[in-house]
Amino acid sequence: MKDKVEQVYFKLGDGAGKLIIDIAREHLFYNLNPDKSVKSLTNTLRGVTHEVVLDIISGKKILLVADERYIDCVDYVEELHKEKFPPFDIYSWVERKLQQIIDVSEEWQKAISELKRIIVKNDGEFIISVKYEKLLSFFYEGNSENLIDVDDDTLGSIKGLTLGIRNFISESMKTMQVIKWLCHNYYGLPNDFSSIPIQLLQLHTTFTELMLKNSEIELTLRRNLVTSLMLDKHLEAQLEIDKATKNIKPVNILDGYTAGWLSPSGEYYGLNGEISNMLHNQIADALLVAGVIPIGKPTYDRAIDNRTNPDRWLEENGWAKIHGDWILYDGWNRGALPDGVITPMTKEQHDAIEKYGKICCDGKLYLGYNKQFMTAARFGMTEIPMLKIYFE
């Protein structure tokens, strides 16, 4: 017996066109997925061109149902269509999102200031108790889930702030990708809209420094230590850091140090240890003591004292920060700061990083704060100006 085939007919409601547009805009402006937004229209409207798709998303064109069977794409006329299709302004959306990123970034900075106060109040340490069964599971299986009990108000606040900042930065970067896509496709948007707000960059830098102990919390102790070393070079070092960095000299980058600073001339200063050892800070302090970093000089009637943050001097003067296979370089980003000067990576640094990646990192490198992957071979073949986007 043959299967019986029946035909089903349906009618398009008056709101079908608006629904299609709303779905496309939701993919773009809420889900932050330009590709899915475009495909939702091209898959629904067979044969539609990319230019028409952009006009539909922007509101220059709308979709109207004709004879309950067809969908017509027509030019938007506000007097005729505003009741069913309220005007949509991409410019205002971008402007609003950028201001939101700026405002929320500043609020998170205030929260970080409060976190620093809490850390100082606890002398930079938090005593955490772990239940024995979770500890054994961690050692045996590597299962760290719920290892730390965050019922404590202080730890709960720190966890909430950390996850909140991480999620905000991630969501903001997705939003900036959408804004860049919009600037590329719509000529009415200024090019500077696609630049990441300085407040977001500062938030990322501030929290990254806090995680690496490169923060104001350590500055007072470090400044006192460096001042003491400079006043009396014959003082016997009381800490391992002083012993390791006394009379610091360049080392061979190919010897595989844990972390280090690479100068514009290609000289590498490296140390072995853990992140908790604040290796980059130790090197910077030692370079200040050795005279590689100047103490400072008056600028615009304002005295600069590099003892408070020698790391910043290295970043401002084009030094590359290396930690394992992670390469950080801030020279290109300095131009976005007030009175900042862009400092491109030098050929000496480029060549040294390529060799370092091939020999010490199994040919794999991760570039910039976003840790974008690139093989060392490709890094070496890429022209220096083209590397800028990986460190933004």
Q: Are residues 240 and 387 located together in one domain of the fold?
A: yes
Q: Does residue 1 surpass a pLDDT of 70?
A: no
Q: Does residue 346 surpass a pLDDT of 90?
A: yes
List pLDDT tens digits, range 106-140: 999 999 888 887 777 776 677 777 787 878 887 87
Q: Are residues 77 and 94 located together in one domain of the fold?
A: no
**Residue 251 has what DSSP assignment?**
B
Q: Does residue 94 surpass a pLDDT of 80?
A: yes
Is residue 98 within 8 A of residue 197, CB to CB? The reply is yes
Residue 202 lies in a domain: yes
Mapping DSSP to helix (H, G, I), strand (E, B) and coil, where does residue 359 land?
Answer: helix
Q: What pLDDT shows up at residue 345?
A: 93
Q: Are residues 63 and 159 located together in one domain of the fold?
A: no
Q: Note the pTM of the prediction, 2 decimals.
A: 0.49
Enter the tokens of residue 120.
Answer: 């100082």
Residue 192 lies in a domain: yes
Total number of domains in the chain: 3
Residue 11 lies in a domain: no
Residue 1 lies in a domain: no
Q: Are residues 96 and 205 located together in one domain of the fold?
A: yes
Average pLDDT rounded to a whole number, residues 250-263: 91
Confidence of residue 386 (pLDDT cuts 50, 70, 90): very high
Residue 216 lies in a domain: no
Q: Are residues 228 and 206 located together in one domain of the fold?
A: no
Task: Cite the DSSP H helix spans in 76-152.
Answer: 78-81, 90-121, 132-141
Residue whose tokens read 């971008």: 94
Average pLDDT rounded to a whole number, residues 299-328: 79
Q: Are residues 266 and 380 located together in one domain of the fold?
A: yes
Cα–Cα distance for residue pair 114/137, rounded to 1 Å: 34
* Domain stops at, among 64, 81, 98: 81
* Range with the poorest average pLDDT among 69-83, 289-303, 376-390: 289-303
User: Over the chain, what is the mean pLDDT?
Assistant: 81
* Range with the poorest average pLDDT among 84-88, 206-210, 241-245: 241-245
Q: Are residues 302 and 205 located together in one domain of the fold?
A: no
Mapping DSSP to helix (H, G, I), strand (E, B) and coil, where does residue 102 land?
Answer: helix
Average pLDDT rounded to a whole number, residues 218-234: 47
* Domain stops at, among 58, 81, 104: 81
User: Would residue 370 be called left, alpha or beta, if left means φ above 0 and alpha means ψ between -120 and 50 degrees?
Assistant: alpha
State which residues form the domain around 46: 16-81
Residue 181 lies in a domain: yes
Mapping DSSP to helix (H, G, I), strand (E, B) and coil, where does residue 32 land?
Answer: coil
Residue 6 lies in a domain: no
Q: Are residues 27 and 76 located together in one domain of the fold?
A: yes
Q: Are residues 250 and 382 located together in one domain of the fold?
A: yes
Residue 152 lies in a domain: yes
Q: Are residues 277 and 366 located together in one domain of the fold?
A: yes
* Domain stops at, among 211, 239, 269: 211
Q: Are residues 262 and 342 located together in one domain of the fold?
A: yes
Q: Are residues 94 and 76 located together in one domain of the fold?
A: no
List pLDDT tens digits, range 159-210: 888 889 999 999 999 999 999 998 888 877 887 888 889 999 999 888 887 8
